Amino acid sequence: MAFREKKAENNNILEEIYHNDPQGLQQKKPIKQKIVNFFHDKKKVDHLLSATILVLGLAAVVLGFFQFKWNINSYFVVKPTDPLTLNANINTEQDLLGLRQKDTDLDGLSDYDELKIYATSPYLPDTDSDGIDDKTEIAKKTNPTCPEGKDCFVEWSVLDPQSGSLVGIDLQATDEERAAQLRRALVQEGLDPQELAQLSDQEILALYQELLNQIKQEQPSPTVSTGLAGQDINNLTPAQVRELLKSAGVSQEILNELDDQELMQLVSETVTNANKTNGQTSQ
């Protein structure tokens, strides 16, 4: 009898520990669930990031055909004043507390915030050189890395659907540099930079890769989200095609360099090749 009572008492103790320490004994939640719980809005997170990745994939396909003829590479040339180039020169082992207390360019933002949250240059008070300092642009909720009045979306938010990497970033780039690019994309899509700052670079990269894999599984034959897919290109006018590409993020400057005949030929080739690729993937 005493043995049974002792055993029952031990079971009660173990049950109490189990309920009081779910992190230790219960199965850990996946990273995606942790992040969804953090933002308290799963639909918002999935919608924003999924939309970003789909649009990036479209831009990569379209720009691939423009590149060889209109020197698209100039959009991705790393400049000496590029924030990522400057940031790479900072010793990654530098004390984070020191970065929080340091403001090298005296723009009112700590070096830590510029590197980890806003992806701006800690050396330049006006990263995009548009005459408005970084702190003012952030307060106005405008992009401090894009000159006012310019569309910078195509320049940095292009995704290669085959490799899963951002076009314009060196394949040897560090995880920190890739995470900074993703933070910029998510901030521009509407996520709070202060909330993103609570996530480590590893969590940002893991979430991105997980969502990318999920989209590939759910949509084995991806289509162009602008409306080109599923339509007969021959039934669209050049003006309609221009509007569709413009809504997908292709800059007006690029579209202006193409006459109607060249535009329709390139778009037709793009859709044809995309359909061939999708057909091979689904087999």
* Alpha-carbon span 194 to 118, nearest angstrom: 9
Is 140 within the bounds of a domain? yes
The pLDDT tens digits of the residues spanning 51-110 come to: 666 666 666 656 655 554 454 344 434 444 455 555 544 544 445 667 788 888 899 998
Q: Which residue type is seen at 103?
A: D
The three-state secondary structure class of 236 is coil
Is 2 within the bounds of a domain? no
Strand ranges in 8-138 using DSSP code E only, listed in sequence order:
none
* Alpha-carbon span 185 to 281, nearest angstrom: 28
Is 74 within the bounds of a domain? no
pTM of the model: 0.30
Is 111 within the bounds of a domain? yes
**In DSSP terms, which residues pair with 160 in a beta bridge?**
165
The pLDDT tens digits of the residues spanning 148-178 come to: 777 564 333 444 444 444 444 344 456 777 7
Q: Are 81 and 121 in contact (CB under 8 A)?
A: yes
For residue 136, the enclosing domain spans 80-150
Is 104 within the bounds of a domain? yes
The pLDDT tens digits of the residues spanning 187-210 come to: 766 677 777 778 888 887 787 777
Neighbouring C-alpha atoms within 13 Å toward the C-beta of 139: 8
C-beta neighbour count of 138 within 10 angstroms: 21
* Alpha-carbon span 204 to 175, nearest angstrom: 10
Parallel, antiparallel, or unpaired for β 159-160 and 165-166?
antiparallel
Report the domain count for the chain: 1
Is 184 within the bounds of a domain? no
The three-state secondary structure class of 165 is strand
Is 109 within the bounds of a domain? yes
Is 108 within the bounds of a domain? yes
